[in-house]
Amino acid sequence: MLLINCPWCGARDEIEFHCGGEAHIVRPEQPDQLDDAAWADYLFMRGNPKGRYAERWVHSAGCRRWFNVIRDTTSHRILAVYKPGEPPPDLAEPSS
Amino acid sequence: MSQPKRLAEGGLIDRSRPLSFRFNGKPYKGYAGDTLASALIANGVHLVGRSFKYHRPRGITAAGVEDPNGLVQVGRGATTVPNLMATQVPLSEGLRATSVNVFPSARFDVGAVLGWGSKLLPAGFYYKTFFGSPWLWRRVYEPLIRRAAGWGKAPNAADPDRYDHRHHHCDVLVVGAGPAGLAAARAAARSGARVVLADSDGRFGGSLLSSEVEIEGRSGSDWSDQVVDLLGQQDEVRLLPRTTVFGYYDGNYLCALERLADGPVRERLWHIRAREVVLATGAHERPLVFAGNDRPGIMLAGAVTTYLRRWAAKPGARMVLFTNNDRAYESAVVANEAGIEVAAVVDSRASVDPALGKLLSSRNIRHLTGHVVTRAEGTKRVTAAQIGRLSGDRIEGKAEKIDCDLLAVSGGLSPAVHLFSQAQGKLAYDETLACLRPAQGPGGVHSAGACNGTFDLAGVLAEGARAGASAAQATGFEASVEVLTVGSPWQHGAIEPLWSVPTASKKGKRFVDLQNDTSVADIELAVREGFDSAEHLKRYTLTGFGTDQGRTSNVNALGILAGAVGRPIGEVGTTTFRPPYTPVTFGAMGGRDRGDQFDPARLTPMQDWHVAQGAVFEDVGQWKRPRYFPKSGDDMKTAVARECKATRESVGIFDASTLGKIDIQGPDAAEFLNRVYTNGWKILPVGKARYGIMCGEDGMVFDDGTTARLSDQRYFMTTTTGGAAGVLDHLEEFLQTEWPDLRVRLTSVTEQWANVSLAGPRSRDVLAALAPDLDLSPEGFGFLQWRDAQVAGLDARIFRVSFTGELQYEINVPWHFGQALWDAAMAAGEPFGITPYGTETMHVLRAEKGFIIVGQETDGTTTPDDLGLGRMVSAKKDFIGKRSLSRADCLRPDRKQLVGLLPENPAQELPEGSQLVEVDHSKRPPPIPMIGFVTSSYWSAALETNFSLALVERGRSRHGDVIEVALKDGPTLARIVDPVFYDSEGARRDGD
């Protein structure tokens, strides 16, 4: 079970959280200006990288707030945690 | 004579505490400190059970958790446990154990006939034979196979015992309390770190309990007792004996099973979050693979040593040792000293350290180098070993037979890398040690001692201390390593791998996995048939499955596989190690989460009243809701018909407290609602409410409910009972992640407001009696309006909404006044025959009106327009999901649309989920298109017919058409109609 460092509450067990999928996908300002393909891309298409992945988590059984996580999908290790609106931190270490 | 095979002295048993036990009904004696296995051996019992597939006689082959064969069923009735290893069962007074997989007894087993015909049962036999006829499989083959291959028996009643879960955090978790683990725990504990030390055994010490060594001038067991005492005195150290760490999960989260000797709790499951982990899990000895190597009396060499030294139990009278390594020679010497006649030491290696030869000759033990045991003789006990000379991969020269009743075998050591592997550590094959050992570990894990491929005691202790110190340092403590003086007459020495003894004859099975009866021939067959990867081989031959998880067989199987495919062992890879390391009971996994405590129950303040009235309940999410209120002997249909009639004709009362309620506040609340609902919200005035539909971003209906404007910047949202939590999550997600600029706050108030709903034409009279000052005229209190008022002397907020089609008031009061309001309403309604109704009546009444229930008429692929609610979708604004509604698929003309359905025969029920097809389908070629399905179905007392709601392709344009409903007992006909069955003009909404 992951130990997730909620930026507001501190380190808590994974069961207190829900994962909300890929982070930094911005809802289009004017959806009606998009063609079907562009809308489908926003709606359905998500990255599936081997390695670092920025994803959203919510501390549902705690402060109920959303935040971002960088997780390595190969080792399942959490490399960084940051608040919404903040840019992803620059990780110097290469991903394991 | 009691305990005929017990040595006169020695062993770590308490001879002052004899214990009585029964095995297969026969009484025996043992001592405190025994395991069931050691006590059986002390009584001369070797034959413990029958094998899984061929029902061959099997005995105890190991002293620890690796034993593939000594499986027993312990206890009786509700608390019996099947398939325990006799080596893992501490002996206790009155213990009752029986063999598993025997019929009628272990000594005479009719299933053994399977062994005679074993050529007919090769690997993959089941896959190849039992397909084709499902009937034969279900009625004939499966019951027979289950009877023949079943292991123990499940308990016949619910387990009355108590199981607990505990959570623990520590700096350093040390797994295994042998020499490496004790050294690690000592080093870590000295630094002040919080340490947990766990070991499966009831007594700490591991191999020290059965070795002849000296540490710091003390014997191994004395030293270990001293370290344990010292650790026990430290506040920050927790010792967990009888505790198996069985799972290593992400983030150094480990689970362990503690078996309690006595007390109110039977087992305790520990959840341990450790900052650093030291694995000191030791190693398991491998057997050697030769014909008949499964006979009772064939035992791992290290187990012979352990039974003699730790338990003073003599596994035989005349022994042959068969080895491919130096280490096993210790058991020949220990046996010799214990009075066992050692007939020969057979070593497969041509050249052996001369010192070992001298050691044997000084004790007059015959030494055969370059020889192998080609076959073990005997059935229920080994009687002799056939010896041959090994030349390359052939046996040469004349065979010699040496009589023995104990055949000790050693094929080398396999480090117990299970937890390391579960932690995603990488393994590598070590040619010198002939074993897989940890290569590259993830952070936070330290392997020390035999589990790391370090087998010499001095090295083990030093590595353990270093691991303990580095683990403590990594958590911020200052730690140092002390060097211990060690005296041990035994070195690990050399090994030459021998994965299987070559054989010229086809006679005699060479077993690789004794628990699953997998032989060398099975592995070779699997490879010939193309199952030549380690994972395929495991599934095809079962090697490595079972309660022992192939601890004695996996590496031998890999060696044989590597030979068969002509590749190095390091390249064939291993199977994946998964938790649990040893079996975990369902009782322990469930802990206290069983029965009423399995899931929290949410109850309304009127629950006690409902129960007292004899309500029949249904679960809606975690809520308990009255489904109907039967009166003496009513079935559901009668009760629901009565409740419907009362509500339609006079007044019904309904507990709607479970409705989800969200308090929405902030200057941007109206804008927010406008974005989450499909319809417009900006012009809703204070004092009014509105029905709304929410979609997901995919345009599919997600929830619905009414929301009222309480003040300029405050709204009161209701959601479906089951959808409340999901709606709040959905709203929070958009508010926090997409629109953080909106100034809106959301608070769940579901359990702050009890809701008593009055429905029916007389509901106005009842409310008038309760709230005499309130203007209840249709003009004074219109539909979709709300009022604050005193109701029965309580501060209440009343919403005029209707989910029944009747005049209806939902009266909200603070939660704890719910029952008081209910009582007052029942009293005020008495002159009108007020009738409590449950969710079933609510369903019937709303379905008669064609009102949908999200999750019943919708299934995540349903748009508002599919439900005939297209008018609720604003064209003027954006909202969540709007863009998706213009995707091509949402505009298809043949989408399924909500309709009503009336069976041609009013008595015919159309079960929910029934598939709908065209009446002329028989004229079309198959497959027959399914054009829709029934979503809701009830008996209507008002209409005197069964009726249904359904989703049907192009349904709105097909009113009047007859279609066929596919039912189990044959098709029936139904007519598509408008989904509003009752009061389609809406005249009843304002009462009569």
The interface residues of chain B toward chain A in range 250-279, judged by CB-CB distance below 8 A, are: 250-253, 273
The interface residues of chain B toward chain A in range 700-729, judged by CB-CB distance below 8 A, are: 729
Q: Decide if B737 and A75 are in contact by the 8 Å CB cutoff.
A: no
Residues contacting B653, CB < 8 A, separation 6+: B756, B757, B758, B759, B822, B825, B826, B829, B834, B835, B836, B837
- Residue B992 is predicted with a pLDDT of 79
Mean pLDDT of B337-366: 97
Q: Which tokens belong to B490?
A: 């035994």
Minimum-distance CB partner of B888 among A28, A36, A85: A36
Q: Decide if B273 and A64 are in contact by the 8 Å CB cutoff.
A: no
Q: Decide if A43 and B253 are in contact by the 8 Å CB cutoff.
A: no
Mean pLDDT of B24-51: 95
In chain A, which residues have their Cβ closer than 8 Å to the Cβ of B424? 75-76
B409-453: pLDDT as tens digits: 999 999 999 999 999 999 999 999 999 999 998 889 999 999 999
> Is A61 in CB contact (< 8 Å) with chain B?
no
B45-81: pLDDT as tens digits: 999 988 878 888 999 999 999 999 889 999 988 889 9
- Residue B15 is predicted with a pLDDT of 96
Q: Which residue of A has its CA nearest to B889?
A: A36
Cα–Cα distance measured from residue B189 to residue A75, given in angstroms and rounded to the nearest whole number: 30
CATH code of A37-96, in short, is: 3.30.2270.10
How many interface pairs between A and B have CB atoms less than 8 angstroms apart? 57
Mean pLDDT of B942-947: 96
In chain B, which residues have their Cβ closer than 8 Å to the Cβ of A56? 737
Q: Which residue of B has its CA nearest to A30?
A: B878
Q: How confident is the model at residue B925 (pLDDT cuts 50, 70, 90)?
A: confident
Q: Which tokens belong to B427?
A: 């393994």
> Does the structure show a pLDDT above 50 at B11?
yes
In chain B, which residues have their Cβ closer than 8 Å to the Cβ of A36? 887-888
Cα–Cα distance measured from residue B202 to residue B208, given in angstroms and rounded to the nearest whole number: 14
- Residue B737 is predicted with a pLDDT of 94
Rounded to a whole number of angstroms, the distance between the first and last alpha carbons of chain B is: 96
In chain A, which residues have their Cβ closer than 8 Å to the Cβ of B250? 1-2, 14, 76-77
> Rounded to an integer, what is the distance from CA B244 to the centroid of its chain?
17
B495-543: pLDDT as tens digits: 999 999 998 677 789 999 998 889 999 999 999 999 989 999 999 998 8
Q: Decide if A14 and B732 are in contact by the 8 Å CB cutoff.
A: no
Q: Which residue of A has its CA nearest to B884?
A: A39
Angle between helices B534-541 and B554-565 (to 10 degrees): 110
Question: To the nearest 10°, the Cα dihedral for B414, B415, B419, B425?
Answer: -100
- Residue B143 is predicted with a pLDDT of 65
- Residue A95 is predicted with a pLDDT of 46
B201-257: pLDDT as tens digits: 999 999 999 999 999 999 999 999 999 999 999 999 999 999 999 999 999 999 999
Q: Decide if B883 and A60 are in contact by the 8 Å CB cutoff.
A: no
| Domain ranges for chain A | 37-96
> Is B133 in CB contact (< 8 Å) with chain A?
no
| Percent over 90 (pLDDT), chain B | 84
Sign of the torsion angle spanned by Cα atoms B720, B723, B724, B729: negative
Minimum-distance CB partner of B249 among A1, A20, A36: A1
Mean pLDDT of B826-841: 98
> Does the structure show a pLDDT above 60 at B150?
no
Q: How confident is the model at residue B111 (pLDDT cuts 50, 70, 90)?
A: low
Minimum-distance CB partner of A66 among B251, B273, B737: B737
In chain B, which residues have their Cβ closer than 8 Å to the Cβ of A40? 887
B884-914: pLDDT as tens digits: 999 999 999 999 999 999 999 999 999 999 9
Q: Decide if A40 and B442 are in contact by the 8 Å CB cutoff.
A: no
> Is B747 in CB contact (< 8 Å) with chain A?
no
Could you tell me where the DSSP H helices lie in A30-90? 36-44
> Does the structure show a pLDDT above 70 at B118?
no
Q: Decide if A85 and B740 are in contact by the 8 Å CB cutoff.
A: yes
Q: Which residue of A has its CA nearest to B698?
A: A43
- Residue B66 is predicted with a pLDDT of 93
Cα–Cα distance measured from residue B575 to residue B558, given in angstroms and rounded to the nearest whole number: 9
> Does the structure show a pLDDT above 50 at A96?
no
Cα–Cα distance measured from residue B717 to residue B504, given in angstroms and rounded to the nearest whole number: 82
B548-595: pLDDT as tens digits: 888 999 999 999 999 999 999 988 888 889 999 999 999 999 999 998
Ranges B146-150, B725-729, B792-796, B821-825: which has the least confidence: B146-150
Ranges B180-189, B306-315, B567-576, B806-815: which has the least confidence: B567-576
Mutate to test the interface with B, among A64, A72, A82, A83 (most CBs of B within 10 A): A64
Cα–Cα distance measured from residue B680 to residue B701, given in angstroms and rounded to the nearest whole number: 16
Q: Where are the beta strands (DSSP E) in B724-807?
A: 745-748, 753-759, 786-791, 794-799
> Is A60 in CB contact (< 8 Å) with chain B?
yes
> Is A50 in CB contact (< 8 Å) with chain B?
no
Q: How confident is the model at residue B141 (pLDDT cuts 50, 70, 90)?
A: low
Mutate to test the interface with A, among B883, B885, B890 (most CBs of A within 10 A): B883
DSSP string, B683-732: TPPTTBEEEEEEE-TTS-EEEEEEEEEEETTEEEEEE-TTTHHHHHHHHH
**Average pLDDT of chain B?**
93
